Chains A and B, each alone.
Chain A
Amino acid sequence: MKWIRYLLILTFCFFSTHAMAEINFNGFLSVGGGLLVDDDEIASYEGFDGDWNTDPDTVFALQVSAAINDKVTATGQLIARGTDDYDIEAEWAYLTYAISEDWDVRLGRLRSPFFIYSDYLDVGYAYPFIAPPAQTYRFLFTTVEGVDTLVRGTLGDWDSSFQAYYGRLTDETRLSGEEVDLDLVGFSGLNWTLNRDWFTVRATYNRAEFSIGLPTALANSAGTGFLDVLNGAGFGTVADALNPLEEDAAFYGIGFNIDYNDWLVISEYTVLEVDDQSLVSDDDAIYILIGKRVGNLTYHLTWDQSEDDPDLDFLAAIPAGVAPGLDALRAGAAGLVTGTKATDTTVGVRWDFAPGTAFKFEVTKLDRETGGVDTDGTLVRLAVDMVF
C-alpha cells in the first residue's frame, strides 16, 4: 500500500501551496522506562527485562492534517518508537471525505479498531495507565490498510458512533525472536460506541483470514525445522495443521467506561476464535480498572488476564506410547500450542503536574501458568506523557 503514502505526500505538496489549505500540527511524546525487579522466573515482558530499559515506552509522534476543502482532509501521523530504533513510520495516513457533518469515509492506513483505546494506542496522555493492559491488548499488529466509514449520531440522550471497515494488512511480526511475514486478507469488521454523560459502552466484531510466516526453528530449506521433521516422519497432516496458513478467525468483544464523580471503572472482554487450530489458539481476555481522581492525581488498580484455549485433537494422528521417538514428536507438537493463562495486576498513579503533561508510575505483578507450571515476576515502570 505504498501508493497511499505517495498519494498523501502528493496531496500535501500540491495543496500546501494552495491558499485554502488549513494545516494543523499536533504532537505527542512519551518518555518512559522500566525493569523487572524480580526476573528469576519471567525474564522478559513487553520488551522489558532485568535491566532498566526505556525503549518500550518511548514514543514521539507528529500529526499533520490538511483540510484541502470543505469535504476532504488529509491526515498523516509520523511516529518514532524506541522499539524500532526511532525509525520514523507512518502509523496513520489517510484521506477523509466528509459525506455530511456526521458521516465520514476514510481511505488509507488506519488503526485496526479492536479495542476502546485502539484509535489512540500510543497517546499515553489520553489514558490513565502507561500502556493499555497488555494481556487484553495482545495483538502483534495495530493497523489495517483499506477503507472505513464513520457514522455519528444521537439516539435519544445517547451519542452513537458506528464504524465499519474493510481492508488488508501485509506486515512483519516477531515470532520466536525472528522477523516473519504477516498477512491478513478480508480484514473487516464493525464496532459501535454509545455514550451518555458518564457512561460509554462499545461492542466490536472483526474477521480476517490470516497467514503467519514460519521461523527457521519450524521450517527451513535444510529440512531441519520441526514441521519439516514432522513431514519427513509421515505426519504431514499434523505439520499442515500447525502451519498458520490461510486461517479464518473472528475477534469480538464488549467494553465499557464509567467516569462518575471522579471514580473510573473501565473494562473490556474480548474473544479470539480461530476456525481451525494452528500455532494460533482460541483465547479470551478481560481487564478491569478501578480508579479514583483526587485533584491532580489519579490512582488506579488494574486486573488483566488472558487465557489460551488450544484444541489438541490434531495430535491424535501421532500414536502415543508406541515408540519414544513418536512420543517426542507428539510432545514437541503439543508444546507448540500449550496454553498459557497470564495475569497482570497493576497498581499505579498518574499525576497531571503541568498543562498537557502527566507523570505516571506503576508496579505490575505478573503471574503465568503454562502446562501446570506457575511463574511470576514484578515490573516497575514510569513514564512522562505529553501532548502539544
Chain B
Amino acid sequence: MKLMIKTFLLLMLATANLAYAEVAVIVHPSNAATLDENSIERIFLAKSKSFSDGSSAIPINQAEASSVRAEFDQGVLGKSAAQLKSYWSKLVFTGKGTQPQDVSNDAEVKKLISANPNMIGYIDAAAVDGSVKVVQTF
C-alpha cells in the first residue's frame, strides 16, 4: 500500500513537472515592439489591437485542450478556461470582438509567426528555434 502511495505521489510530481514546462511568448524576428506581460495580456484579450510601434497585432492561440494553452490562460491571462469562454462570449455575441485563431501545436504557431510580422503566439519554451523571437517566458 505504501509503495502504491509513493508511486502515486511520484507520478503526480512527474505530471506536475510536465504541466509546468515554461511557456515562451514569440513574435516574428523582425518585430521590435516592447511587450511586457500587461501588453501581451491586452492583445490576447482583444483589449488592444496593435503593438507598441502601432502595427496591428494578431494573436494566435493553441488548441483549447493543450497544456501550453492552459498554462498561458492561467499564468498570463490569470483566468480559467471557463472564465475566458464567458469573457469571449460577451464580446463575440455583441459583435465587439473575435476570439483569436486556434492552431493545433507549437510547430503550427512557429510556422505562422515566422511568416507574419503582425502575429504573436506562445509555445513550449523547449520548442523555440531561430525562426521566431522570444519576447517573454513564463
The CA-CA distance from A37 to B69 in the complex, in Å, is 44
Contact of B64 among A75, A96, A159, A355 (CB under 8 A): A355
* Stretch of A117-125, A215-223, A230-238, A336-344 with 4 or more beta carbons under 8 angstroms from chain B: A117-125
Interface pair B82/A358, CB less than 8 Å apart:
yes
How many inter-chain contacts with C-beta < 8 Å in the A-B complex?
54
**What does the 1/0 interface line of A280-313 toward B look like (CB < 8 Å)?**
0000000000000000100000000000000000
Shortest beta-carbon distance from B93 to chain A in Å:
5
Shortest beta-carbon distance from B76 to chain A in Å:
15
Chain A residues whose CB sits within 8 angstroms of the CB of B2 once the complex forms:
none
**What does the 1/0 interface line of A82-116 toward B look like (CB < 8 Å)?**
00000000001010100001000010000100000
Task: Give the top 6 A-B pairs by smallest Cβ distance, nearest first.
Answer: A352-B82, A119-B94, A75-B95, A387-B89, A126-B89, A126-B90
A268-282 interface with B by 8 A CB criterion: none
Interface pair A73/B81, CB less than 8 Å apart:
no
A65 within 8 A of B: yes
**What does the 1/0 interface line of B80-111 toward A look like (CB < 8 Å)?**
11100110011011111010000000000000
Number of B interface residues, CB 8 Å?
18
Known: A125-B85, A159-B47. A28 touches B93 (CB 8 A): yes
Shortest beta-carbon distance from A32 to chain B in Å:
17
Known: A159-B47, A355-B64. A296 touches B82 (CB 8 A): yes
The CA-CA distance from A358 to B83 in the complex, in Å, is 11
Smallest CB-CB separation from B48: which chain A residue?
Answer: A154
Known: A101-B49, A159-B47, A296-B82. A28 touches B96 (CB 8 A): no
Known: A101-B49, A125-B85, A358-B82. A96 touches B93 (CB 8 A): no
B67 within 8 A of A: no
Give 16 A-B contacts (CB < 8 Å), ordered by A residue.
Answer: A24-B98, A26-B93, A94-B95, A101-B49, A101-B50, A106-B95, A111-B94, A119-B94, A120-B89, A120-B90, A120-B94, A126-B93, A150-B96, A352-B80, A355-B82, A387-B93
